[in-house]
Amino acid sequence: MSGDGNCQFRAISDQLYQTPEKHKSIRKHVVYQLKACKGWYQEYVPMKYSDYLKKMRRQGEWGDHVTLQAAADCFGMKICLVTSFKDTRYIEILPKTRQQNADIFLSFWSEVHYNSLYQAPDTATFQPIPKRKKKHWLF
């Protein structure tokens, strides 16, 4: 995914439409969801909610955990997130009320970048991430 600040929305677009190019539409739907269901999300936003909505409308603004939840709710999908966090390598973001339509798979490099994940052609299922014996990261 392009690292232009839209990577979360591009990754979701790629999972839903097999192209990252519909990211503007994804962002628009997510912001509409945030606005329409303010009560669901407001307490998780560390600023004035109207300012947050204005910020999230802008192309290039980074998505966050709140926009991920809004995307799951808006599109009725489970978001399976593989992360670079040491203690939480896999997170499932479930839609609040809608029946689950699909699962999408994203990766998240801590506070930096989202990507769209696909199953490798020669594997039957995603394999669990093995636990590491080392307690530190090497970059």
Report, as residue numbers or ranges, the catalytic residues.
Answer: 4, 7, 113
Q: Note the pLDDT tens digit of each residue in 49-88.
A: 999 999 999 999 999 999 999 999 999 999 999 988 778 8
Q: Say if residue 35's pLDDT is above 80.
A: yes
Q: What percent of the chain has pLDDT over 90?
A: 65
Q: What is the mean pLDDT of residues 91-116?
A: 87
Domain 7-116 coded CATH 3.30.365.10: no
Give the CA-trace dihedral at 40, 42, 46, 48, to 10 degrees. 160
Give pLDDT, residue 102. 84
Give pLDDT, residue 138. 40
* CB crowding 86-122: b at 16 or more within 10 Å, else e: eeeeeeebebeeeeeeeebbbbbeeeebbbbbeeeee
pTM of the model: 0.83
- Where along the chain do its domains lie? 7-116
